[in-house]
Amino acid sequence: MFARVFGRCLPRPGYCVNRTNSIVQDIKVCGRYRYKHSSRGKGWDFIPSSSVSSPPPLSSRTSRARKMAENKDIPSTGVQQGPEPVAASAGASGGQDVKPSLVSTNPMVWIDCEMTGLNPPSDKLLQIACFITDSNLNLLDPTGFETVISRPESLLAQMDEWCTTTHTSTGLIPRVLSSKVTVEEASTALLAYIKKYVPEEKTAIMCGNSIHFDKLFLSIEMPEVVAWLSYRVGDVSSVKEFARRWCEEAVLEGLPVKKYTHEAKEDILESIEEARYYRKVLFRGGL
């Protein structure tokens, strides 16, 4: 005859005795059944109730476990634990060691790029900035990530007038020419930074203004970064377009003023601030 205990179909007590020499971690009593569990995870084994006495006091069990541990029979805790988590080291472009509490379960990876133009793959990435927030738009690292990629002067000479003027005024062109960072090194560093806060792939979305455009360049030059993130994106520009069509004018009038400096780090922080405004006004009870 069988009885069901903890979702298992088990024989009545007295019919099955564990003959392994593994160490018993604990002895428990459940209704009519007295059972024990081996330290090797062999499952529940049953012994006649007449042969099982009540568990000794906790102090006695603790003392016995300590003595057995000293003899290297079992760990003093009675449970084999994994290694302590080790904080990831800071990335090449900034950031601090990550505390477990800062690893969000629903992260958002905010990225902004500056390029030589608008036509990949002939145009290339020059500068990348990245910040990571939780789902409530709190920065997990206020320092963020930033890198400038080395490019030959011949490539910069092919930029149109707008790009040349803009990147000259921001000082990006001399930074590109003096940089020693290859695109491969930049990709490795960016992915390492993201993994510090997003240790599980496909759990974070890439966010920003018109983020599909940045993602297009990244998918060509840094496919490993794109592959680590979800295929979904969070486009702040799309929310703005919806607001223009569906909301009162007061919503757009209250938007934070942007500087449009075309500095990747400053631009992406402005995108996060804009998203915070929409969250407050459109998704948190209105004005």
Catalytic residues: 231
78-95: b or e for each residue (b if 16 or more CB lie within 10 Å)?
eeeeeeeeeebebbbbbb
For residue 244, the number of C-alpha atoms closer than 13 Å in the C-beta half-sphere is 6
Q: How far apart are CA 174 and CA 94, in angstroms?
A: 21
Q: How far is CA 61 from each of CA 20, 56, 65, 182, rounded to the nearest angstrom?
A: 21, 6, 6, 60
- Which H or E run contains 216? helix 211-221
One-letter amino acid for residue 75 of the chain: P
What angle in degrees, to the nearest 10, is found between the helix axes of 264-282 and 236-246? 40
Q: What are phi and psi of 71, to 5 degrees?
A: -90, 5
Give the count of beta carbons closer than 10 Å to the beta carbon of residue 57: 9
> Is 180:150 a contact under the CB 8 Å cutoff?
yes
> Angle at CA 207, nearest 5°, toward 152 and 112?
25
Report the relative pairing of strands 233-235 and 44-46 from DSSP bridges.
Answer: unpaired
One-letter amino acid for residue 45 of the chain: D
Looking up tokens 């223009």 gives: 244
> Is 37:25 a contact under the CB 8 Å cutoff?
yes
